[in-house]
Amino acid sequence: MRDFFLAEEDRSFRAEVRAFMSRELAPKVDAIERDQDFGAQLAIIGALGETGYLKLMFPDLYRGALPKPGLTHAVIVSEEAAFLNYAFETTVATALSCAYPIHRFAQEALRERYLMPILEGQSLGSICMTEPTVGSDSAGMETRIRFDEGTSEWVVSGLKRYVSNASKADVYIVWGVTDPYVPPQKGLTAVLIPAGVKGMSFPRLYDFMGRRGSIVGEVAMDEVRVPEENLLGEVNCGFNIMLCAFNFERVILGGSGLGVARAAFEIASQHAQARVSFGQKLGQKQLIWDMIAQMSWKIDAAELLTHRAAKMYDSGIDGKDLMREASQAKLVATETAVFCADRTVQILGGDGVTRQYGKAEQLYRDARTLPIVGGTSEMCKYLIAARELPSIRLNL
Ligand SMILES: Cc1cc2nc3c(=O)[nH]c(=O)nc-3n(C[C@H](O)[C@H](O)[C@H](O)COP(=O)(O)OP(=O)(O)OC[C@H]3O[C@@H](n4cnc5c(N)ncnc54)[C@H](O)[C@@H]3O)c2cc1C
């Protein structure tokens, strides 16, 4: 049975979201992929905001009919969006990943000002961790954040790279070092920087093989000043905020991987049942149904792990207690997306690598970023193993 962990209300929610995506997103996927039309994405995000779906993970904010909104529903939104267009899904998922620390760690005034516009689809958010010298080793970042006692402001200097929604976002959550004389786990701080402040610039936007239409770039900060209340949580507690943000992002990435994997699988299974080769349907060949069977169980495994992690989060489990499950969901779902996209291209033969014959080649390009973003597969394996081997210290 698919959707094993989902309740009846989750399933009817999925039907609602699927209808929304086929009405609003499906007609625009070509403009997003081919013309990199960001305006089209913003229009859909605005419509999505009106439905209330973006408030789903924040039960205290959601005024809709659903009794139990949570990360499960956010995963469903991601899965249904990624099924049609992964680039669009990343724009939304990044905004949600920015909304999460604001909701959980910002002071009330900051939440009022910056959270609601994101959840109403009127504003975009961005999270800035990665730097030229550190990606996986995010605790080793070099961006500096200091407090100016004279003006009561946080002053931020540094360069972040590979930042999704860079230059398009209205709000940036930036991590930096506040105390360089302690281990990074005790010396990082996160602050909120609104777009348009003096000293912030976007020196470079990247051109990726996949996710065409999503915007990813560098964010440079030269003595950027923000008020004292723009601090998230406590000073020097940014590492814990990062761990929670990663859990949240990784479970959502489970939904992204599932959406891409399902889209590929649908193309492969249709082709295997339609195409005739050597007098038989392709799907009747053992080498082909082996690939179909592998895709099928991998997708189910990814779905079970992703929905389990989302349900755990919804029941109040987070931080270190969710790290293993969030990492498993992200690892399996994103590797499944790559596997399914690759085998789909193979099953389609020439049609799989041709832009004129459907979406297989796009899915192949799109899927490849999934095991890299939000913590690579190797980092996910490390986190899983570290939880499974508590009595020894794993070398990174
Ligand atoms: C499209 C895209 C969007 C992104 N969006 C954002 C964003 O919005 N915000 C943000 O902050 N970042 C973002 N990133 C950055 C992303 O999180 C990093 O690329 C990722 O964490 C890997 O870091 P890196 O690229 O520096 O690779 P590295 O950390 O240099 O790793 C390179 C390779 O070495 C492996 N490796 C590293 N250390 C070890 C080890 N100890 N043991 C074994 N293997 C290891 C890694 O798994 C990887 O395979 C984005 C990246 C991309 C491509």
Residue 63's pLDDT band (boundaries 50, 70, 90)? low
Q: What is the CATH number of domain 125-236?
A: 2.40.110.10
Beta-bridge mates of residue 280: 277
163 lines ligand 1 (CB under 6 A): yes
- Indicate if 239-388 has the same CATH topology as 8-119: no
pLDDT digits (tens, 9 = 90+) for 220-241: 999 999 999 999 999 999 999 9
Architecture of the domain spanning 8-119: Orthogonal Bundle (1.10)
Ligand 1 centre distance from Cα of residue 135 (Å): 4
Which two structure tokens, joined as six digits, stand for 262? 């399902």
CB of 232 closer than 8 Å to CB of 105: yes
Residue 185's pLDDT is 87
- E strands, 310-375, are none
Average pLDDT, stretch 17-38? 96
The residue whose CA has the least distance to atom 27 of ligand 1 is 135
Ligand 1 centre distance from Cα of residue 163 (Å): 11
pLDDT digits (tens, 9 = 90+) for 126-164: 999 999 999 999 889 999 999 999 999 999 999 999 999
Short-list 207, 198, 203, CA closest to 218: 203
Average pLDDT, stretch 318-334? 95
Our CA angle for 6, 376, 140, nearest 5°, is: 125
Domain ranges of the chain: 8-119, 125-236, 239-388
Residue 358 scores a pLDDT above 90: no
For residue 160, which atom of ligand 1 is closest to its CA?
11
Assigned fold of 239-388 = Butyryl-CoA Dehydrogenase, subunit A; domain 3 (1.20.140)
